[in-house]
Chain A
């Protein structure tokens, strides 16, 4: 059967295979699905085509992000079992089908088909594609998991940098009016991403069982710090206190970052009356670069200073930066841009560092599946962050408040959100041994139901 080519067993690397040949496969997938961050390019043309509201079109993006989290959580175990090649191929089919069905919806004037295509089916492709290379990267780079996952997840941030100018080019090339060019633009992007992701799937290789980089030996005795030498299954991981504390950490970090990202253009124009829409577009571009580079730089740094300390920085320094934006942000454009760019680099870094944090806490056995479950925090934050900033700004605007004062309250709330995340991170402890899986994958510990209350008895080694 030709489909057996996709099986994990058929993708085991041969002798002498260079591990640096896997990251481009991961990047091909993440750069493709990262297009979702550039969906806003299609918003106005879609509004014009369907004679609809921005809210109705914005739902497409919201569905896609919710489906990302949901499918990563539900299909994470399947992705882990199937290996990167099959899951990348599945992600490619879903993501490109999303564009195809979306194009059909536009061509037939059926907005619900765009919801179903780009939103639901494309969103499932996002979820599968996002987690598909993570576990394999960690297995290829057990000595530098932060660097490896940072490299791939940087691609998700970089995907918008490529898709945004490319989509604009397609919309102006295929027709005189952008709304008439949506169908061929969707079809072009769908075909392009299908090829790129399938090439990535074909190139994907998993390391043989027990493989380790030459000169590196896995710790065999006691765990050090937050790093465990054991494995925890995905089913058990979600029963631990540390998983849910990390869920809160990711939720807080994403909520704070997405609040600025979503409102970046109007926010800088409200802060500075001399910044026009064109300059604001440049600011949005700069934040995209900060988002992308933060994923690689901070995640790589976490290999050196540790995951917990890195998140202390994201959340602690992030809270200080938010406070400075709220109190001194109007002093100059350069100061405002520097503060917010650093905040967004922490936002990106939070995404990229979390797989390595999970590997430290739960081992590498089912880290992809555990990562999938954790990404529900992203879906929740994707709703909470914009809601906080938009609702407060709208309410204050209705009360006649203008300029930077529109955001003072929401920025202060974000300081509080980050402090909550900081405290949650502080409370994360190594996972108790009773959750550790034996060689057969079954939990070693006995005693029936898990009691989260007892977890606090575990000392931080």
Chain B
């Protein structure tokens, strides 16, 4: 996967360190990916159950 290279972060003035905000954002984004996929799966499965009524 492609990664970015930033110059500004939540520790302004100390660009060489890992930004505090990114330390939160990475696990939070991974959690969001999981929640989004679970929610979409729930929606698609619920909808497909209805779709079977059309051809069932």
Contacts and interface: CB of A to CB of B under 8 A. Distances in A.
Given A205-B25, A337-B54, A28 B36 contact: yes
Contact of B24 (A18, A202, A209, A282): A202
A165 B46 contact: yes
A21 B18 CA distance: 16
Contacts of A27: 32, 36
B8 to A, nearest CB: 4
Interface string A304-337: 0000000000000000000000000000011001
A21 B25 contact: yes
Given A14-B18, A165-B42, A289-B44, A21 B5 contact: no
A24 to B, nearest CB: 4
A15 B6 CA distance: 4
Contact of A208 (B3, B8, B56): B8
Interface footprint category on B: 35 or more
B54 to A, nearest CB: 3
Interface in A1-56: 9-25, 27-28, 31
A211 interface: yes
Interface footprint category on A: 35 or more
A368 B5 CA distance: 23
B44 A161 contact: yes
A223 interface: no
Contacts of B8: 9, 12, 208
B32 A28 contact: yes
Given A10-B10, A14-B19, A279-B53, A24 B33 contact: yes
Nearest to B9: A14
A439 interface: no
A278 interface: yes
Nearest to A281: B50
A62 B5 CA distance: 44
Contact of A22 (B19, B29, B39): B29
A162 B39 contact: yes
Interface in B1-24: 1-10, 12, 15, 18-19, 21-22, 24
Given A14-B18, A17-B4, A27-B32, A161 B51 contact: no
Choose among A15, A23, A196 the residue with the greatest number of B CB atoms under 10 Å from its CB: A15
Contacts of A200: 32
Given A13-B9, A28-B32, A19 B3 contact: yes
Contacts of A22: 29
Contact of A203 (B12, B28, B40, B48): B28
A24 B36 contact: yes
Given A158-B43, A285-B48, A289-B47, A211 B54 contact: no
Contacts of B36: 24, 27-28, 31, 155
A29 to B, nearest CB: 10
Contacts of A283: 51, 54
Contacts of A164: 43, 46-47
Interface of A: 9-25, 27-28, 31, 140, 155, 158, 160-162, 164-166, 196, 199-200, 202-203, 205, 207-209, 211, 213-214, 275, 278-286, 288-289, 333-334, 337
Given A9-B12, A285-B47, 19 more contacts: A13-B6, A13-B22, A14-B9, A14-B22, A16-B6, A17-B4, A17-B25, A19-B4, A28-B36, A31-B36, A31-B39, A158-B40, A208-B4, A211-B6, A214-B2, A279-B54, A283-B51, A289-B47, A337-B54
The 5 closest A-B pairs by CB, nearest first: A161-B43, A282-B54, A14-B19, A24-B32, A21-B29
